[in-house]
Amino acid sequence: MLNNTMLSAYNRSKPDRALPNMVNVFRNGVNEKEGAVEGVNMVNVLTALNLLKEHIVRERNKDNITLKMEQLEQVISTVIPPASTLLTSRPSPPPSVLARYAKALSDLVPLLINSSPSLPPPTSSLLTTALDTTLQHFLDSSGLLMSDKRITSSDLTKIAYTLHVNLNRGSAFLSKCQSNEKRSQQFEDLYFYSPSPSSITLAAYILASEGKFNRAIMHVLDAKGAFVVDNSDGINISQGVYAMGMTRYKGSHNKSVRGKLMNAIEYNGGINKVFKAGPGAVAQTMFGAGRLHPQVFPLTGLFNRANQADISYDLVTSATPSEVSRMIWAMSQKGYDCPTFLEAVSDDSLRLVRHGTLHSISSTAYGLANMNRPATLFFKHVVDDAMPYFLEKGGTPTEIASIMFALASARTEEGTHPLEKNGFAVNELWSTLIAYHQGNAEFTDGTLRLMHMTYLIARSVDYYFPSTPSKSLAEQMVQSANSLIQRDFDFGEDLGKLPDPNKNFKKTLTSLGFLPVSNWSTAESGSDQGYSGMSGQRYIQDLISDMVGHSSSSSRTKLPPFPLELGHWIHEESKTAVQFSSHPAYCHELIPPTKGYNQGDRREAGWARVQKEVAHEKSNMKFSTLALLLPVAASAKNLRMPNPFTTSDDEMCCSGACTVEGEEKYFSIDTRHDLCGECCMKPEDYDLYHKFEKGLKKADDGDFSPCTGLGFPKYTETVTHGFLSIKMTLDLYDHADAKLCAFPLQEDGTCADNKDLCEYAEGKSECCTAGEMCIPNVGCRC
């Protein structure tokens, strides 16, 4: 009744009296007594706020109408106070109404500020405070929402989206909705049986945008693939694929539902919907697909459609430069050859360069170079138009390195390099990169990016100046990057978590003259040095001893801890020098460059001279390279290598409330292993430890078991990370329903061909299903 009266008062009034008349009706309906509000409800509040939004949009578009500040203030000061009371009233308003109320506030704040910059601070503060209070209420009351029988997946997704837009905490809300086993199942059921496919795809998109992985949402998205595609538009479909790509989704452990979304897109008309939604949806879908396994999630039809003659030109010319760069990047990752599409890119290259950002230009160039496609026009415009911009604006190191790699790798139709006559620009860009890294003294977690850029620079050097003094620039870059690696290593950075920097770094060092140890047979190496039989460990130990300044006869206890652990690992995994040669990545870059040494005179020169040079080369660079390569190699093969910066403890350290005065409870989720850790630390130390653990967060006051509330109730172990004065002890927790997928070793101590070895603890091994995770002290995880 009150809604109809407000609408009538607003619609029948003249524009300058519409808001005041509506407010009077609302005010007359409010009955406040004993801290409660009667006579109005949240639906009435929504009506008033929506009328205010409609009024601002309508009047702002009229040139002869000026919004009256006092009327806007009147609406806000009248409607917001009772709304804040109703928000926490009992019984609570319907979740759907609460979700719409939060969205209304979220829409109004920027609209009101942009339309009325002179709005008095008390009024604008009242509105922003109401929004902040509402969002915090959702974060604190997720349990109450989940216990409300009226809750739907659409309500949860709308609330999460509002939190995502304003606080970037949509994923935190969705995680809190799964705070225990019962709610986790209820949460998954809400989405699995949801009649709204957009709620599924948007929830997945929110999580991916915030860098979080939610098993329940991704499982539903994959399992309900046909339902999502049949009942969604192209935007929703692109959000789903993007979410899968950003989380590197490998498919549900249930093979019956694996890949259903991609199959539905391919065969149920999903591709048509994506293209109908426009180039933005196409680019987002391709980008997500480009990050997924090409055999499990191919989406071949999507890329074939983009390459059709009647589609490719319109697709390229109607897309923004950033969207085109995403498409090209995805094509290069998937290995698709789309000549018609690339021809359209070449024809439109002037616009893509002149109207593109540094990031879009470098990404497009990088993708074209990766596909080894000649693109004379594009690279000509890059040289003529973009290079001066790069030199003037600088760009980020990643952008500069990407454009360097692209220009170095690219070929024109005539087979020439696009920068043959513009070498000065190459030197300028190298100098910019080197100056950046040598002057960057702050801690960085970008070791992987540094390795990638180092490789790109070295590759550029090889293309342009393979035998000139300019090569020293790349060597400086390697040394600069290595100093950061060593610093990260010293501060306890878990280099084993890096995805795959060794591949690029190996190429870098090889291009600079470092020789791979590709054959450890007795005839070519062992006999010259006396290393034979079970010699892998001893050779590496002696080599490391020379690097770090200790003689090979020194006591093992005088060596740094990492080489000791390294030697132990090599001894376990490689019984003979011949076996060791089958894993060249484990010791690839240990031999420094030598003058006059090549494949042809190997036998004549012998390895004695190489070993002698190693003994005189006390190179910290090679030691930190070793520190980088070995953990990565171990991680890639599911082999357990003892980490010198991680130790295990027998007792829990941080169960319940913190006992040391001044310490408070903090937590972090290890997304790679899907574990949660709790620790006790002083708030003033947060900035230091946050540098090493980006996901470290403070638990809410009174919450002494944050991992349990996030769905990790099962205690696993207590570990200490770091060393010396920079270390932290924490308790690790797992999901209560975590499923293990382990198989016993065969009689000969190996795994079957379709299984991977998992050495999850000292002396404990099992076989994992190929592709599954091997978690320390836990085992194989499905």
Of 702 and 341, more confident: 341
- Say which residue the tokens 């342009």 belong to: 464
The answer to whether 41 and 61 are in contact (CB under 8 A) is: no
Does pTM surpass 0.85?
no
Q: Name the most confidently modeled range: 42-51, 291-300, 670-679.
A: 42-51
Flag whether pLDDT at 464 surpasses 50: no
How does residue 189 score in pLDDT terms, banded at 50, 70 and 90?
very high
How does residue 114 score in pLDDT terms, banded at 50, 70 and 90?
low
Of 492 and 310, more confident: 310
Listed range (300-304, 464-468, 549-553, 667-671) with the worst mean pLDDT: 549-553
How does residue 636 score in pLDDT terms, banded at 50, 70 and 90?
very low
How does residue 423 score in pLDDT terms, banded at 50, 70 and 90?
very low
Identify the pLDDT of residue 702: 83
Of 644 and 227, more confident: 227
Of 716 and 755, more confident: 716
HEC secondary structure over 508-569:
HHHHCCCECCCCCCHHHHHHHHCCCCCCHHHHHHHHHHHHHCCCCCCCHHHCCHHHHHHHHH
Flag whether pLDDT at 569 surpasses 50: no
Of 643 and 229, more confident: 229
Which element (helix H / strand E) includes 781?
Answer: strand 779-781
Identify the pLDDT of residue 528: 34
Instruction: State the chain's mean pLDDT as an integer.
Output: 68
Flag whether pLDDT at 92 surpasses 80: yes
For residue 255, the Cα-to-chain-centroid distance in whole angstroms is 26
How does residue 271 score in pLDDT terms, banded at 50, 70 and 90?
very high
Listed range (232-246, 335-349, 432-446, 514-528) with the worst mean pLDDT: 514-528
Listed range (33-42, 283-292, 736-745) with the worst mean pLDDT: 736-745
Flag whether pLDDT at 139 surpasses 70: yes
The answer to whether 459 and 408 are in contact (CB under 8 A) is: yes
What's the CA gap between 309 and 327, in Å, rounded?
Answer: 16
What's the CA gap between 345 and 135, in Å, rounded?
Answer: 44
SS3 671: coil
Identify the pLDDT of residue 519: 29
User: Which residues, including other chains, have CB under 8 Å from residue 582's CB and lie 6 or more apart?
Assistant: none
780 phi, psi to nearest 5 deg: -75, 135
Q: What is the mean pLDDT of residues 579-588?
A: 28
Q: What is the mean pLDDT of residues 699-714?
A: 86
What's the CA gap between 503 and 509, in Å, rounded?
Answer: 10
SS3 773: strand
The count of other CB atoms within 10 Å of the CB of residue 598 is 9
Flag whether pLDDT at 121 surpasses 90: no
What's the CA gap between 18 and 1, in Å, rounded?
Answer: 18
How does residue 648 score in pLDDT terms, banded at 50, 70 and 90?
low
Identify the pLDDT of residue 633: 28
What's the CA gap between 449 and 456, in Å, rounded?
Answer: 11
How does residue 740 score in pLDDT terms, banded at 50, 70 and 90?
low
Sign of CA dihedral 140, 44, 28, 69: positive
Identify the pLDDT of residue 703: 86
How does residue 275 score in pLDDT terms, banded at 50, 70 and 90?
very high
Q: Which residues of 512-544 are buried (b: 16+ CB within 10 A; e: fewer)?
A: bebbebeebeeeebbebbebeeebbbbbbbbbb
User: Which residues, including other chains, have CB under 8 Å from residue 91's CB and lie 6 or more apart?
Assistant: none
The share of the chain scoring above pLDDT 90, in percent, equals: 18
Identify the pLDDT of residue 305: 94
Residue from 736, 696, 699, 697 nearest 716 by CA: 736
Q: What is the mean pLDDT of residues 636-646?
A: 31
Identify the pLDDT of residue 500: 36
Of 278 and 557, more confident: 278
How does residue 644 score in pLDDT terms, banded at 50, 70 and 90?
very low
Identify the pLDDT of residue 775: 67
The share of the chain scoring above pLDDT 70, in percent, equals: 57
Listed range (139-143, 281-285, 544-548, 697-701) with the worst mean pLDDT: 544-548
Flag whether pLDDT at 154 surpasses 80: yes
SS3 418: coil
Alpha-helix residue ranges (DSSP H) falling in 177-320: 181-192, 197-209, 215-223, 225-230, 234-246, 260-267, 270-276, 279-290, 300-306, 309-318
CA torsion 126-127-133-138 (nearest 10°) is 160
What's the CA gap between 589 and 614, in Å, rounded?
Answer: 12
Q: What is the mean pLDDT of residues 299-316?
A: 92
Identify the pLDDT of residue 536: 34
- Residue by residue, DSSP assigns 753-764 as TTEEEEEEETTE
Residue from 621, 127, 411 nearest 135 by CA: 127
Q: Which residues of 753-766 are buried (b: 16+ CB within 10 A; e: fewer)?
A: eebbbbbbeeeebb
Listed range (145-149, 270-274, 592-596, 722-726) with the worst mean pLDDT: 592-596
Flag whether pLDDT at 631 surpasses 70: no
Of 704 and 370, more confident: 704
pLDDT tens-digit map of 426-452: 555 555 554 544 444 333 334 444 444
Of 286 and 297, more confident: 286
Identify the pLDDT of residue 231: 95
Sign of CA dihedral 520, 522, 528, 532: positive
Pairing mode, strands 773-775 and 764-769? unpaired
Identify the pLDDT of residue 742: 67
Flag whether pLDDT at 322 surpasses 70: yes
Residue from 259, 152, 265 nearest 199 by CA: 152
How does residue 407 score in pLDDT terms, banded at 50, 70 and 90?
low
Identify the pLDDT of residue 462: 44
Distance from first CA to last CA of the chain, Å, rounded? 56
pLDDT tens-digit map of 372-388: 666 667 877 777 777 66
SS3 36: strand
What's the CA gap between 130 and 109, in Å, rounded?
Answer: 10
Listed range (171-185, 188-202, 617-631, 717-731) with the worst mean pLDDT: 617-631
Tokens standing for residue 730: 């924490």
How does residue 649 score in pLDDT terms, banded at 50, 70 and 90?
low
Identify the pLDDT of residue 583: 28
Residue from 246, 341, 253 nearest 289 by CA: 246
User: What pairs with residue 591 in β-bridges?
Assistant: 515
Listed range (11-20, 66-75, 607-616, 742-751) with the worst mean pLDDT: 607-616
Flag whether pLDDT at 311 surpasses 70: yes
Identify the pLDDT of residue 589: 28
SS3 65: coil
